[in-house]
């Protein structure tokens, strides 16, 4: 039996000799197949299936010749080999583990994991097999016919790396879980990203704690200084930003008023910027469009205006309150390309809390002003009442004097 490659024109003489593989069988031993095919092809002949498979792994063939009885096992072996090749090229670790915890097959990626991690994977596969068997038994008793579902696990390695793992059962004809297939991948970057987002979320809630009794007793300037200190602390310790400015939008004039700045020279803080897409730097563009902006190289970006000395890149995100832009958060760095999409996401999340805190601070100032006005009105009213009583008393005294004179 000959299986030629797709697009072949049959056995014809060609200027370029193609190579075929012959798996020795009854027909190949009885007839001069190798000699006949050798007139048209380069021929490699092997007597066993293992030898043929090893040759197929080493090089490419344009055709395979074998007896009909030998071709099906060879075809299955070739498919299995191709499947293994595919699984060896994926970026996740894949393995098959039996119910006793013995790994019967694993791909190249799985074999690169540490022995401790590999051992944890096999232990989890044993646990998953027990769970899958329980599900199969429960489905058989209830008659629901629902098979076991894949299960997901998380693994923390000794080197502070995190891995995710999905297990699926291999069920035999008797309906029993015979093996467990596991797919494992490194989830460290995603886990660290989530941890940082959680930390930023916690820091943002701390920024918004301006309504407590201890803070409410402070003057507006003291509250602003307290908020400024918190923002600077979290920017440095959590976001690792050392040079930044926060400007709030004055809707009457569209001017971006500087309220908090750190690590910037005085000449950069004295610049007047307005919420306009052109002629007002990156901050004006972000305030006008509501879109974040990463400047990878300030020397090549015409929108960039004066900032910190030797600034080479910047990140600017809008401050939003109820989907309205209320200001901008601008960060600068001395390195080219210092900011990426993760920094943009972190800054946008943190910026929402900054906008919320500044809005609460503004409301507290208004409330204090309103309360002070009410107190003033009360004092004036009491003073007026006292003056009225004093006037009546003075009138009575004068009347009594006049009566005595008469």
CA separation for the pair 343, 333 (Å, rounded): 12
Residue 80: pLDDT band with limits 50, 70, 90? low
Residue 330: pLDDT band with limits 50, 70, 90? very high
Tokens standing for 254? 């569209």
Residue 162: pLDDT band with limits 50, 70, 90? very high
Per-residue exposure over 90-129, b if at least 16 CB sit within 10 Å of its own CB, e if not:
eebbbbbbbbebebeebbebbeebeeebbebbbebbeebb
If you average pLDDT over residues 138-157, what whole number do you get? 74
pLDDT at 402: 45
- Residue spans of the domains in the chain: they are 2-89, 93-186, 192-368
Residue 306 falls in which region: left (phi positive, over 0), alpha (psi -120 to 50) or beta: beta
Which residues are CB-contacts of 370 (< 8 A; sequence separation ≥ 6)? none
Tokens standing for 36? 């006949």
CA separation for the pair 310, 332 (Å, rounded): 10
Burial degree of 214 (CB within 10 A; 0-12, 13-18, 19+): exposed
Model-level pTM greater than 0.75? no
pLDDT at 1: 42
3-state SS assignment for residue 339 = coil
If one compares 278 and 4, the residue with the highest pLDDT of the two is 278
Q: How many CB atoms are located within 10 Å of the residue 392 CB?
A: 10
261: Cα within 13 Å, side-chain hemisphere? 17
Instruction: Report the chain's mean pLDDT, rounded to a whole number.
Output: 79
**Distance spanning both ends of the chain, measured CA to CA:** 151
Tokens standing for 357? 């805190």
Fold of 93-186: Beta-Lactamase (3.30.450)
If you average pLDDT over residues 6-17, what whole number do you get? 51
Model confidence pLDDT, tens digit, residues 345-359: 999 999 999 998 888
Look up tokens 């697009």; give the residue.
7
**What residues are paired with 321 via a beta bridge?**
324
What torsion, rounded to 10 degrees, do the Cα atoms 262, 265, 267, 273 define? -30
- Are 331 and 344 in contact by the 8 Å Cβ rule? The answer is no
- Kindly give the pairing relationship between strand 41-46 and strand 103-106: unpaired
List of long-range contacts for 119-124, beta carbons under 8 Å, 24+ apart:
120/155, 121/93, 121/95, 121/97, 121/155, 121/165, 121/182, 121/184, 122/95, 122/97, 124/153, 124/155, 124/165, 124/167, 124/182
3-state SS assignment for residue 111 = helix
Model confidence pLDDT, tens digit, residues 218-258: 777 888 888 889 999 999 999 999 999 999 999 999 999 99
Look up tokens 């490419």; give the residue.
60
pLDDT at 389: 46
Residue 264: pLDDT band with limits 50, 70, 90? confident
If you average pLDDT over residues 26-38, what whole number do you get? 76
Please tell me the CATH code under which domain 192-368 is placed.
3.30.450.40
pLDDT at 133: 85
CA separation for the pair 294, 337 (Å, rounded): 9
The DSSP output letter for 13 is -
Tokens standing for 332? 């600068």
The DSSP output letter for 198 is H
Alpha helices in 103-219, H assignment, sequence order = 108-112, 115-142, 188-207, 213-216
pLDDT at 364: 61
Model confidence pLDDT, tens digit, residues 356-390: 888 887 766 554 444 433 433 443 344 444 444 44
155 alpha carbon, distance to own chain's centre: 19
pLDDT at 211: 60
Burial degree of 221 (CB within 10 A; 0-12, 13-18, 19+): exposed
Identical fold, 93-186 and 192-368: yes
Q: Is the pLDDT of residue 305 over 80?
A: yes
pLDDT at 105: 86
Q: How many CB atoms are located within 10 Å of the residue 400 CB?
A: 10
If one compares 217 and 261, the residue with the highest pLDDT of the two is 261
Q: Is the pLDDT of residue 180 over 90?
A: yes
If you average pLDDT over residues 192-210, what whole number do you get? 86
Share of the chain above pLDDT 70, in %: 74
pLDDT at 268: 80
If one compares 259 and 83, the residue with the highest pLDDT of the two is 259
Q: Is the pLDDT of residue 332 over 90?
A: yes
- Are 256 and 284 in contact by the 8 Å Cβ rule? The answer is yes
């Amino acid at each position: 039996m000959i299986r030629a490659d797709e697009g072949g024109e049959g056995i014809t003489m060609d200027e370029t000799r193609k190579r075929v593989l012959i798996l020795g069988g009854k027909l190949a031993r009885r007839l001069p197949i190798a000699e006949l095919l050798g007139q048209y092809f380069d021929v490699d002949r092997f007597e066993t299936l293992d030898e043929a498979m090893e040759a197929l792994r080493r090089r490419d063939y344009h055709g395979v010749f074998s007896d009909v009885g030998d071709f099906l096992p060879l075809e299955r072996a070739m498919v299995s080999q191709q499947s293994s090749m595919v699984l060896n090229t994926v970026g996740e670790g894949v393995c098959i583990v039996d119910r006793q915890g013995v790994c019967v097959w694993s791909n190249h990626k799985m074999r690169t994991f540490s022995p401790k991690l590999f051992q944890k994977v096999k232990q989890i596969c044993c646990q998953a097999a027990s769970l899958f068997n329980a599900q199969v038994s429960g489905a058989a008793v209830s008659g629901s016919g629902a098979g076991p579902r894949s299960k997901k696990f998380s693994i923390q390695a000794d080197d502070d790396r995190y891995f995710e793992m999905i297990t699926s059962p291999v069920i035999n004809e008797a309906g029993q879980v015979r093996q467990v297939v596991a797919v494992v991948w490194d989830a460290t970057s995603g886990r660290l990203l989530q941890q940082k987002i959680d930390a930023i979320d916690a820091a943002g809630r701390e920024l918004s704690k301006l309504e407590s009794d201890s803070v409410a007793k402070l003057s507006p300037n003291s509250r602003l200084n307290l908020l400024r200190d918190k923002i600077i602390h979290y920017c440095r310790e959590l976001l690792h930003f050392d040079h930044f400015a926060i400007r709030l939008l004055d809707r009457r004039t569209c001017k971006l008023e500087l309220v908090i700045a750190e690590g910037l020279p005085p000449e950069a803080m004295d610049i007047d910027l307005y919420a306009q897409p052109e002629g007002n730097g990156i901050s004006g563009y972000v305030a006008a469009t509501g879109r974040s902006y990463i400047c990878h190289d300030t020397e090549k970006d015409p929108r960039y205006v004066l900032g910190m000395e030797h600034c080479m890149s910047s990140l600017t995100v809008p401050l939003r309150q109820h989907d309205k832009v209320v200001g901008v958060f601008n960060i600068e760095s001395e390195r080219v390309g210092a900011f990426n999409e993760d920094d943009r996401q972190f800054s946008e999340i943190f910026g929402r809390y900054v906008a919320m805190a500044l809005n609460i601070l503004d409301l507290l100032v208004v409330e204090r002003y309103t309360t002070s006005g009410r107190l003033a009105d009360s004092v004036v009213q009491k003073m007026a009442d006292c003056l009225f009583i004093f006037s009546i008393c003075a009138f009575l005294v004068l009347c009594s004097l006049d009566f005595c004179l008469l």
